[in-house]
Amino acid sequence: MNYTTQMDAARNGIVTREMEIVAKKENIDIDKLIKLIAQGKVVICANKNHKSLDPEGVGEGLRTKINVNLGISKDCPNIENEIEKARKSIEMKVDSIMDLSSFGKTEEFRRRLIEISPAMIGTVPIYDAIGFYDKELKDITADEFLDVVEKHARDGVDFMTIHAGLTRKTCETFKKNKRLTNIVSRGGSLLFAWMELNDKENPFYEYYDRVLDICEKYDVTISLGDACRPGSINDATDASQIEELIILGELTKRAWERNVQVIIEGPGHMALDEIEANVLIQKKLCHGAPFYVLGPIVTDVAPGYDHITSAIGGAIAASSGADFLCYVTPAEHLRLPTLDDMKEGVIASRIAAHAADIVKGVKGARDWDYKMSEARKNLDWDEMFRLSIDPQKARRYREESKPKHDDSCSMCGKMCSMRNMNKILSGKDINILRDDE
């Protein structure tokens, strides 16, 4: 059976291999999944050339997914270090890896990453353009930008961040409504500079139909980038952000007319009490398309701890309806993350995603917590470690401070509530001070 994209297949009632895998993983009825994909409310990012992919669904009613960012830069160009991070993130069961490489042998790294990764792969082609052409930003042509998009698609990238909503009109709104931190999106700032230097329209907006041609050909999901995402809580939910979001809603419909799947990217830095409203606005303006958020980072004062600030915001965003969390590491705003930074970011994001899935009523989410609580009640340490979101750390903490009695921990000892309640409810004596069991 012939089809161009997962959305095209869904709209024609064709059940793809990828749909079958996702339906089984999510414990969702296949007919319901097909309907959601046809409506654009769920996407399966699955480039036809990504042969090692183990497909995942992103969107309404499904488990909240998490993404890891990595890639080489001019200051840190070591490919092997980034491959090690990729392998570790796959081991930690991330759903997606974004290659944000911006310098050096980006093509070699991207192809190796796609070859080894069962997780979906995303990129931001504009990051790669400067290094690929070895030209100053101003001198890159619209055709050259689009050629990089096609190159990434041909290599097997499953989704791409395309900042098509930053138009000349959006730029004027930005200039008239001053921000504390201006445009903090790297791709957005590069496009803004290119447009100003060349006095031209955003090529990804002007030639959006050509972008759709590429995406339809390879079944690449467009992740419509939030060039105007707030870089401080002061700038959240302002005119620039909302105007861009309106345009992204229009671009979403244009993509769907071509059976191209769409994800919408979102903020950014944002106070707690604005997050739920932002998710609601996105879902309304972008017609229920899956929402992919960076954080949100809920306070600006915690460099070194932004995996925590983002996990707080991510849990609120996902419980309010966001579908996809981009992890943030302790190194955010400070440096390229190390392997340990990446681990901390992954765990924080997984906690946030799971906490939200409990609220959203995702099938099986509460079962995990029930089993952990059961293991705690039974003082079954091996089962607790097995069920832990980070088994290695849980086991290490236990080993570093062993109690005298195995049915307790070094915090409470024989005053352990679980131990004593188990004993008293089974008719046994409680011996806190005596040395016998």
Q: Where is the binding site for [4Fe-4S] cluster, in residues?
A: 409, 412, 416
- DSSP, residue by residue, 50-98: -TT----EEETTSPPEEEEEE---SS---HHHHHHHHHHHHHTT-SEEE
Question: Exposed, middle or buried: residue 345 (CB in 10 Å: 0-12, 13-18, 19+)?
Answer: buried
Phi, psi at 92, each rounded to 5°: -85, 10
For residue 205, the one-letter residue type is Y
Instruction: Specify whether the CB–CB gap between 225 and 163 falls below 8 A.
Output: yes
| CA gap 62, 56 in Å, rounded | 10
Three-class DSSP category at 232 = coil
DSSP state of 269: B
Which residue is associated with the tokens 């490489």? 101
- Residues contributing to the annotated binding site: 69, 98, 127, 163, 185-187, 226-229, 265, 269, 292, 333, 409, 412, 416
Ramachandran region, residue 177 (left: φ > 0; alpha: ψ -120 to 50; beta: rest): beta
Give the C-alpha separation, 407 to 418, whole Å: 9
Residue 388, C-beta contacts closer than 8 angstroms, at least 6 positions apart: 372, 394
Q: How far apart are CA 417 and CA 410, in angstroms?
A: 13
C-alpha count within 13 angstroms, C-beta hemisphere, residue 220: 29
Would you say the C-alpha torsion 367, 369, 373, 379 has a positive or negative sign? positive
Q: 160, 149 in Cβ contact below 8 A?
A: yes
Enumerate the known binding-site residues for substrate. Answer: 69, 98, 127, 163, 185-187, 226-229, 265, 292
At 334, the amino acid letter reads: L
Paired tokens of 98: 């974004």
